[in-house]
Structure 1
Amino acid sequence: MKWNHALKDYQLYLKIERGLSENSLDGYTRDINKLIQYLDENTDASSPINISFEKVQRFIYEASKSIEARSQARLISSLRSFFDYLIFENYRTDNPTDLIESPKLGRKLPDTLAIEDIDTLIQSIDLSKPQGERNRTILETLYSCGLRVTELITLQLSDLFFEEGFIRVIGKGDKQRFVPINQQTQKYIQFYIENIRKLIDVKKGFEDTLFLNRRGKQLTRNMIFTIVKNTAVSAGIKKKISPHTFRHSFATHLLERGADLRAIQQMLGHESITTTEIYMHLDRSHLQNVMEQYHPRS
């Protein structure tokens, strides 16, 4: 079995059987291609079926010289998953990564913005230009609904249920969830649709896409990152932020105001409550206030 054949089969498995998103598929593919490239550069004829533990270990050791611990752990995880798939398909009887330990990682707390910073960011947008109204609506939607970037750019007009106060979001693995949307954000979206979007020459295939670029097509992930970065510069925000910062801020601010962790989990689309619990570590002063307010011995 050749590497490219095994990789294509694995990609189909991840997409069809496990329902992973394109971004996740790209990540797994990129990591496995690093191993393939390493073997090519070293004229190593090992195949996915017979490559040994020693060769995989050597590759990880070499790769680890130029990547941080978190990337190293992801690389090992990707390879372990790939070889587990080969075992599942009866191509191998062992996993050459089983004896390789991942680096110990501390729990990385997400970056967040204060409410005042979010207000400053949004107020700094130049609304004299059509894209200004669009960009304000984008940031408001990111923050008020806690969306991932891909969820934002794939949002459809048919996903808006304003009378019920919800939007439909297609998350990781094409899983659907309904997220509440406040009236202020609804007004921004409605204004954008009626005054900005309707003036755009919408290209075929994007008639239902909510946020469009000037050419009438769906915005890219990179464009959303650029919008956030440029807005931060205009607002004088020195902190390094990304679109995901709005999602983290959404969860943190809800928690600080007493929202139930399970409700936040549902709105974020986390499969496990453990993923959502990371926000419990962000504001210890908030936890102390909760203790003082609700504990009978306080």
Structure 2
Amino acid sequence: MNWKTAIKDYEFYLKIERGLSENSVNNYIFDIRKLEKYLLDSSINSLPLTISQEEIQQFIYTVSKEVQASSLARLISGLKNFFSYLVFEDLRQDNPVELIESPKTGRKLPDVLSIGDIDSLINAIDLSKPEGQRNKAILETLYGCGLRVSELLDLSISDLYFEEGFIKVTGKGNKQRFVPISNTAIKHINLYLNELRCHLTIDPKFSDIVFLNRRGKKLSRAMIFTIIKQLAVKINLDKKISPHTFRHSFATHLLQNGANLRAIQQMLGHSSITTTEIYMHIDRQHLSEVIHTYHPRNN
């Protein structure tokens, strides 16, 4: 089995059997192609079923000179998954990456916006422009529902249950969940649907997608990043932000206002509570204030 065939079969497995998104599949395949290119450039003839642990270790050592620890850890994890797949399919007897340790990366706390920052970003949107109402609805939805950018882009009109106060979100691995939506977000989505979107010439393939570009097609991830970064520049916000920053802010502000961690986990669509617990670290200052305010020994 050559690399081309192995990668094609693995890609099919990730898409069909594991149900991963196109973005996730591309990330997994990128890791394998990087190994394939290294072997080609180094004139090493090893194939997926014969490559040794020593050869992969040398590849990882070479890559480690060029990337940060977090990127290297992700690469090693991606290679482990690929060779685990080959073992699972009885194509290999061993996983040559199994005993290779990932570098210690520590736990990076996500950036969070203050409520004032979010208000300033949303208020900076120019509603006199045709896309203004759409952009306002996008930011209200990102922050109001804590969505991933891919979940926002895939949101369909048929997923909107406004009378019940929920939207249906399709997350990682095509897992679906219902997320409460605020009256503010509902208001701005309806304004966009009824005053802007209805006047677009919509591509039939995207007729059910909520947020569209001016050509009536689905928005790209890059477009959402651009909208947010331009607003940050406009208000002189000295923070590095992305669409995901609104998701982090959503979770942190809920926690600060007394929301249950388990409820936040369900709304974010985390499969493990451990992932959600990172927001406990962000919220140290708030927890400290709770102790000083409410503990009887501090009175």
CA distance, structure 1, for counterparts of residue 289 and residue 16 of structure 2: 47
CA distance, structure 2, for counterparts of residue 159 and residue 21 of structure 1: 18
1:46 to 1:166, Cα distance in 2 relative to 1, 3 A: same
Tell me the residue number matched to 1:230: 230
CA distance, structure 1, for counterparts of residue 234 and residue 54 of structure 2: 52
Alignment of 1:284 onto 2:292: no
Alignment of 1:242 onto 2:214: no
Tell me the residue number matched to 1:202: 202
CA distance, structure 2, for counterparts of residue 293 and residue 235 of structure 1: 34
Tell me the residue number matched to 2:137: 137
2:43 is matched by which residue type in structure 1?
T
State the shift of 1:231 in Å.
Answer: 1.0
Tell me the residue number matched to 1:255: 255
CA distance, structure 2, for counterparts of residue 72 and residue 21 of structure 1: 22
Q: SS in structure 1 opposite 2:275?
A: helix
Paired residues in the alignment total: 298
Q: Deviations over 1:218-255 (max 9, x none)?
A: 00111111111111111211211000000000000000
State the shift of 1:72 in Å.
Answer: 0.1
2:185 is matched by which residue type in structure 1?
T
State the shift of 1:291 in Å.
Answer: 3.3
Q: TM-score, normalised by structure 1?
A: 0.97
Q: Deviations over 1:122-179 (max 9, x none)?
A: 1111110011111111011100000000100111111111100001100001111000
Q: Where in structure 1 are there 5+ consecutive unaligned residues? A: none
Q: SS in structure 1 opposite 2:44?
A: coil
Tell me the residue number matched to 1:42: 42
Q: TM-score, normalised by structure 2?
A: 0.97
Runs of 4+ deviating beyond 4 Å: 292-298
Q: Deviations over 1:195-216 (max 9, x none)?
A: 0101111111111110010000
Q: Where in structure 2 are there 5+ consecutive unaligned residues? A: none
Tell me the residue number matched to 1:273: 273
Please say which of residues 95-104 and 283-292 is displaced more in the overlay. 283-292
Tell me the residue number matched to 1:125: 125
CA distance, structure 2, for counterparts of residue 238 and residue 293 of structure 1: 32
State the shift of 1:85 in Å.
Answer: 0.9
Tell me the residue number matched to 1:77: 77
State the shift of 1:285 in Å.
Answer: 1.9
CA distance, structure 2, for counterparts of residue 133 and residue 80 of structure 1: 45
CA distance, structure 2, for counterparts of residue 43 and residue 178 of structure 1: 52
CA distance, structure 2, for counterparts of residue 286 and residue 123 of structure 1: 27
CA distance, structure 2, for counterparts of residue 250 and residue 28 of structure 1: 29
**Aligned CA-pair RMSD:** 1.2
Q: SS in structure 2 opposite 1:58?
A: helix
Q: Deviations over 1:13-46 (max 9, x none)?
A: 2222222221111111001100001111112111
Q: SS in structure 2 opposite 1:130?
A: coil
Tell me the residue number matched to 1:221: 221
Please say which of residues 15-24 and 66-75 is displaced more in the overlay. 15-24
Alignment of 1:95 onto 2:95: yes
Tell me the residue number matched to 2:86: 86
